[in-house]
Amino acid sequence: MTQASFALDMTRPGRRVDPSLASLSYETLELSDPTFFAADNHGLVRMFREMNPHGVLRIGGNTSDDTVWGGYKGKMPTYVPRRHGKLLQPHVLKPEGLQALAGFVRATGWKLVFGVNLRIGSPEMALDLAQTVQKLVGDQLLAIQIGNEANNYEPDYAAFDAVWTPYAKALRAAGLPIAGPDTGANTDWVIEYARRHAKDNVFLSRHYYREAAENGSIPDLLAGDPGFFGEVEQIMQVADQYGLPFRISEGNSYYNGGRDGTSNVFASALWGADFMLALAHRGVAGMHFHGGTLLSVETSLGRMAKAPAGGDIVAQRDAQASRYSAIAGSRELGFQPRPLFHGIALAQRFAGARMLPGQLDTGGANLAAYAAKQGDAVLVTLINKDAQRDASVALSGLPHGAKGELMRLRALALDSRRDVSFAADGHVSADARGTSRIAVPKASAVRVRWA
């Protein structure tokens, strides 16, 4: 048993956790089935509301830059999208897909971030699409974003800025809210973009994936990514300077569709909870986990996909979803949470709270700890990402004599694909000096709400 400690400091409250922290990202191609994002797709509406009643849905990804707007009456630009060297037919977004999306957004209460095609070089078509989105979605439209990971097709920031500017001008002149730059991984782009365009934007954005799926593994995922959080701190300095929120508008464990046996197992739940709280601690407003159907994500990568049939209903639903998706299933089969969903739900319990600093001594285990003040209550989350070591964590700095309500996130093993639970697990008390001891078994997390 590893002896660890976590000393809370109630005297220096930090960042407020934005209620939209738990957010999602889907491919534009998903709208080609107007029964998916639809008000009467009750199973999916329920999953969204359960994850977060105040979330933000971002529609974009590679397929946003491969899509032409079917409702556009102007001159269609000639263009063939290319991905991984393959020539593809552009996807046509039909008005029914957008109408259904508007109904879905209303049914969930979520806000919408919508991506328009930058690669095609038609600000006119983008404006027409964005205005249609705004007409349908109203004030639930948070922002239009222009292009997806333009760093993959523009040689440098200056080239991106040059093609982006006519779009931004057209959208702003029409009174549309915009956000960006939605770069894949270029922190310098975000900073330069903020310097040039902060006043025209409602938030700043970039993406995050730890690595390519080919290089993924459970130990790699759970090892953490301190270099990335250094970049987040750089962006937050600039975001604060301009008074803009910063969102990870798309991201997940591993790109190229996620890694089977890592992105879709219990390890991803511990990773997701830790990742979100590490972002919130630094003041990041939202984390949009990318996912959706296997078909749309594989198509976004220029690959063909067909979900294998067979197995019990849980396996069948699982097969419908991209490997990193937090939600699996289909309208016909019903929807179910992936392990990651439960990790997101755990972190989302911090919504609206003010993060508190704390001194963590891990005792050598792979442990993360977060605390926050939520009204009169104090929240503490301990995440034991260690595959070998159980931990016993001595907490101090708690409200004296407080009663703590436990919830545990657990599964049989780090590579469990199902039977993940996030459930109440009794009570503990802090003593008269405000200390308490909590056991956190290996590969599990606990959340304690002290009142």
Footprint of ligand BDP (CB under 6 A): 27, 61-62, 148-149, 184, 250, 255-257, 297, 300-301
Residue closer to ligand BDP (CB basis): 115 or 283: 115
Closer by beta carbon to ligand BDP, 103 or else 257: 257
Identity of the residue, 148 or 264, whose beta carbon is nearer to ligand BDP in the bound complex = 148
**CB-wise, 90 or 184, nearer to ligand BDP?**
184
Of the pair 5, 296, the CB lying nearest ligand BDP is at 296
**Tokens 């000639």, residue located:** 78
Q: Which is nearer to ligand BDP, 32 or 444 (CB)?
A: 32
Query: Residue 91 Cβ, how far from ligand BDP at the closest point, in Å?
Result: 12
Nearest-approach distance from CB 161 to ligand BDP, in angstroms: 20
Tell the smallest beta-carbon distance from residue 254 to ligand BDP (Å). 7
- Rounded least distance, CB 318 to ligand BDP, Å: 18
Residue nearest to ligand BDP (CB): 61
Work out how close the CB of 213 gets to ligand BDP at its nearest, in angstroms, rounded to a whole number. 7
Count CA atoms closer than 13 A to 145's CA, side-chain side. Answer: 33
- Residue among 256 and 262 whose Cβ is closer to ligand BDP: 256
Q: How far is the CB of 179 from ligand BDP (least distance, A)?
A: 15
- At closest approach, how far in Å is the CB of 348 from ligand BDP? 23
Contact between 31 and 421 (Cβ < 8 Å): no
